[in-house]
Structure 1
Amino acid sequence: MKLLKEFFKVIPLFILLCVSAAQAQEFNAVVQVNAQNVAQPDQTIFRTLETSMQEFINNTKWTQQDYRDEEKINCSIVFVITDYDNDRFKGNMQISLSRPVYNSSYSSPIFNFKDSNIEFEYLEFAPFFYNANQYENNLTSLISFYIYTMLGIDGDTFSLNGGQQYHVEAQRIVSLAQQSNSVGWKATDGQGTRFQLNDDMLSQTFKEYREVLYGYHSKGMDTFADDQKKAKLLISAEILKLKALNSRRPNSLIQRLFFDAKADEIVSIFSGGPAVDVRDLKNALQQLAPNQSSKWRNIKV
């Protein structure tokens, strides 16, 4: 094991990534590995893991599109380690994603998700490779899955179902990773898993989620600079479309996902600026996301 670690140390990371780094990558990711609750005197491996994950995300070419610097997708990944032993890591991961609003310096949060069942093996200085047709290891699959999920959600905000190909790629990762026997990839692994997240994204049962992502952002947020009152009315109308989803599947994961990302923003939008009638919206919000009721009370009718 030590010999392998020394071998990986002498491979400069920039050589491994030079081919993909020459192209216009998609992400501007910030990765944080929090190991403060792990009894490990030498914290070096955690810092190495943090750097390697961030460089893997930011230096890999994930799509066929070229992104200008101002178009890069801003996201953060916080991995909290709860257990570490002999190159095996366990913990949870918080993934957050935002998207720029046209004619504004504001970035709108569009994805805020906590994966509570993270486990993988990582050999210090081992290189990362993404192979679309083959399972490599659980860590690579975890990162790649969330990259394509974020690409899918980001694409869905710019055009109707615009992220479809990326959600399908995430589905491929789920299928390949099921051979690993790690928790989170199978339908039998329970609620709030990667399997369920991806399955719901692609299911017609929850189609309103992706429809609202597009309308809320492209029809609403992106028009704010032109006409604030009209934009607020459009955003309200889009949120109300989630009532159909709620009537079918109350308190679904995908619905909670939307409001976990948007609750604070919705309150901010409808608590200032030109006044609009928000009575129907406020009543709907109490039904759609009752866990956010303390926030909805700040919206004044």
Structure 2
Amino acid sequence: MRNIIIVLTFFIAITGVSQELNCKVVVNAELTGNENFSIFKTLEKQLNEFVNNTKWTNKTFLPQERIDCSMVITVNNYSSESFQATLQVQSSRPVYGSSYNTPVYNFNDKDFNFTYLEYQNLNFNPTQFQSNLVSVIAFHVYMILALDADSFAENGGDPYFKQAQTIANYSQQGNFKGWKLEDGLQSRFTLIDNVMSATYKEYRQVMNSYHRQGLDIMSENPKEGKEKIAEAIKLFQAMNSRRPNSFLQRTFFDAKADEIAQIFSDGPNVNIASLKEVLQKVAPMHSSKWQTIKY
């Protein structure tokens, strides 16, 4: 009996401290010509530990609730302790009643320059700048958490978006590109600024309706699920009329275009004529995919 209690206590302790992410971090240094340098392998190992072992929220996640995601760092140039790189971040979440994982976040961060000494400590401070390496990774962690939460509950991502914005604000002092208004229309600054702006409020509405009211009911009622997904996508029309072809719309469809084309090319027949018209307007960069929808 005592052994059973010990085992149960150990199990509860393990599940109780499970962190939020199940993230695979890859450091690709082939472009430097020195991909076998130990510093790249050490960086990859430390980042995997940092992302997966840091407690990012005050919530308890069971192991099966951890968010699947990936971060691929491509190092373009490396000299001493200075790195010039890009970062591809992706995340997904399970669809209710199925074994399917749907893509949620897909962001290509092209301005990821940082300094790093092998084996240096990587510690996150929610209110204080530590390094650009830590700030960029933490920023995307909170974007993953926020969008995942929004996909399950309306405005569920509020605290995580606010933390991402805090990181963006205090990281400006580091003088690294990507944190300021003048750093372009596809920067981290633009991403979080747009998400937090009422001008783009439909983006978060779509994130919730598309997943919770659409995808999550498809296992029980695929026809209604498809109709709800179509209704969610059409919400982009109002946002597009204010800001045509906005950055946020592009990030959404970068993650969802293939999935949308597949959903509406199979299963129960629904009226897609008006949907295809909307898709061509709000996501013209994926027009070739919309043309494959034949229903």
Tell me the equivalent position of 1:139.
133
C-alpha separation between the residues in 2 aligned to 1:90 and 1:252?
Answer: 27
1:269-284 correspondence runs (5 A): 269-284=263-278
The answer on whether the counterparts of 2:19 and 2:53 sit within 8 Å (CA) in structure 1 is yes
How far off its partner does 1:41 sit? Answer: 6.7
Deviation (angstroms), 1:44: 1.2
Q: Which whole-Å CA distance do the structure 2 matches of 1:109 and 1:196 have between them? A: 21
Amino acid in the other structure paired with 2:236:
L
Confirm or deny that 1:71 pairs with 2:65: yes
* Deviation sequence 1:170-206 (CA, Å, 0-9, x none): 1110111010000001112111111110001111000
State TM-score, norm by structure 2.
Answer: 0.93
SS in 2 for 1:135: coil
Whether the aligned pair in 2 keeps the contact of 1:232 and 1:276 (CA below 8 Å) is yes
* 39, 44, 48: which one aligns with 1:45: 39
Report if the CA contact (8 A) 1:29-1:76 is conserved.
yes
Match of 1:124 in 2: 118
In structure 2, give the amino acid aligned to 1:165: P
- Could you say which residue in structure 2 is the equivalent of 1:14? none
Give, in whole Å, the separation in 1 of the partners of 2:264 and 2:172.
Answer: 44
Question: Quick one: structure 1 residues 39 and 212, their matched pair in 2 at CA, closer, same or farther if it must change by over 3 Å?
Answer: same
CA contact (8 A) 2:16 2:61 kept: no
Q: How does 1:288-299 map to 2 (within 5 A)?
A: 288-299=282-293
> Which of 203, 227, 246 is the matching residue for 2:221?
227
Aligned partners of 2:16 and 2:95: how far apart in 1? Answer: 28
Q: 1:192 aligns with which of 178, 186, 207?
A: 186
In structure 2, the residue matched to 1:181 is 175
How far 1:39 sits from its partner (Å)?
A: 2.7
SS at match of 1:24: coil
Question: How much does 1:43 deviate?
Answer: 2.0
Rounded Cα–Cα distance in structure 1 between residues aligned with 2:87 and 2:35: 23
CA contact (8 A) 1:21 1:59 kept: no
Contact 1:21–1:61 (CA under 8 A) maintained in structure 2: no
Q: Residue 15 of structure 2 contacts residue 63 of structure 2 at CA under 8 Å; is this kept in 1?
A: no
Aligned runs of 1:16-31 on 2, under 5 Å?
Answer: 23-31=17-25
Q: Which blocks of at least 5 consecutive residues in structure 2 are unaligned?
A: 1-13
CA distance in 1, matches of 2:254, 2:182: 25
Q: 1:149: Cα distance to partner?
A: 1.0
CA distance in structure 2 between the aligned counterparts of 1:167 and 1:47, rounded to whole angstroms = 31
Cα gap change, 1:150 to 1:41, in 2 (>3 Å): closer
Residue number in structure 2 paired with 1:32: 26
Deviation at 1:169, TM superposition (A): 0.3
Residue 21 (structure 1) shift: 10
TM-score, normalization: structure 1?
Answer: 0.92
Q: What stretches of structure 1 of length at least 5 have no aligned partner? A: 1-19
User: Identity of paired residues, percent?
Assistant: 45
CA distance in 2: counterparts of 1:294 and 1:228, whole angstroms: 25
Distance, in Å, in 2 between the alignment partners of 1:50 and 1:196 is: 27
* Residue identity in the other structure for 1:102: Y
Count the aligned residue pairs.
Answer: 282
Matched, 1:148 2:142: yes
Tell me the equivalent position of 2:252. Answer: 258
Q: Is 1:54–2:48 an aligned residue pair?
A: yes
Return the match for 2:166 from 154, 167, 172: 172
Counterparts of 1:263 and 1:276 in 2: how far apart (Å)?
Answer: 18
Distance 1:225 1:154, change over 3 A: same
Conserved? CA contact 2:16–2:62, under 8 Å: no
> 2:192 & 2:150 partners in 1: Cα distance?
14
**Of 234, 240, 244, the match for 2:234:** 240
Cα distance in 1 for partners of 2:157, 2:264 equals: 28
Moved >6 Å (runs of 4+): none
What is the root-mean-square deviation of aligned Cα atoms in Å? 1.3
When residues 22 and 230 of structure 1 are mapped into structure 2, their CA distance, relative to the original with a 3 A threshold, is closer
- Partners of 1:162 and 1:87 lie apart in 2 by 39
Looking at structure 1, the residues matched to 183 and 252 of structure 2 have their Cα atoms a distance apart, in angstroms, of: 22
